[in-house]
Copies of this chain bind each other. A is one copy, B any other.
Amino acid sequence: MTARATGETPTDRRGQRRATDSKWRTAVTCIEPNKILLRGYPLDEVMGRLTFGEAIYLLLVGEVPSPAIGSLLEAMLVSFIDHGATPPSTLAARNTATAGAPLRACVAAGVLGFGRYHGGDIEACMQFLHDGMEQVRHGASYRDAADRLVLRCLESGDAVPGFGHRYHTRDPRAARLFQMALELEVEAEHIQMIRAVEMMLEERRPENEPPLPVNIDGAIAAVCGDLGIPASVADALFIISRVPGIASQALEERDRNEPMRQIDPKDHVYDGQSERRLPERRK
């Protein structure tokens, strides 16, 4: 995210140095008449050559992703794209839609409906895994480091960040993401650490309590960690990934329901497509 001196900035030419030194700088996108450079690449050349997901990575990280990183990134963005009608962010957007507000107001309200308890686990889990890996770097085994992390949560009463889900006992998105990381050979120490924590949680689980599996926040945190993506960019990816879901839910609210209705999140039924398989060419 930080700017690197490139040797091509206008400050090189002596006569302009004073003038540009007082200006503020941006390294994201260069706009000139009839030319747009996205991190240096002409935008019209990027169109048709990079996918939207790859262009998101280029924008946030500064470089075109490798094929493996690109695939994982698309999968992460897809994994979070929607989670039905009941997340608070979706309900904030639907309540805004039922009042007859424009779509951009609904989307903004939806984005505001993330908070400490909703979408905040990615950054917390990245810090958590980072703490564990610090211990490994100082000689602890993954198993011992994981044990200490879990005990710390148990003692403080805090939830273990990146684990557990109010609907799922096994988060299908997390499992798929780990499988892809393995196949694409990007699995490294963050994933190893989160798996060690998962095992430790299972060992220490009281008999009458349900298992506490890695959730999608945890999986994304671990994968982002292994890809070298900083926490602030992971947070951006999370927000970006859910906007299409928020927009779809707001449009559906507007199209299928009476305005000014009272939305009970529990009182709905799914009446869409029944389960189906992707067309052959996409497998």
Contacts and interface: CB of A to CB of B under 8 A. Distances in A.
The range of chain A's interface size is: 35 or more
A41 B112 contact: no
A114 B101 contact: yes
Contacts of A166: 260
Given A34-B170, A270-B25, A78 B115 contact: no
A131 interface: no
Q: What's the dominant secondary structure at chain A's contact region?
A: mixed
Nearest to A9: B271
Given A251-B1, A271-B25, A105 B99 contact: no
Contacts of A113: 92, 95-96, 99, 101, 109
A49 B92 CA distance: 31
Given A27-B273, A60-B248, A84-B29, A53 B52 contact: yes
Interface in A158-207: 166-173, 175-177, 180
A28 B248 contact: yes
Which one of A91, A109, A115, A248 has the greatest number of beta carbons of chain B within 10 Å? A248
Contact of A28 (B59, B239, B249): B249
A237 B28 CA distance: 22
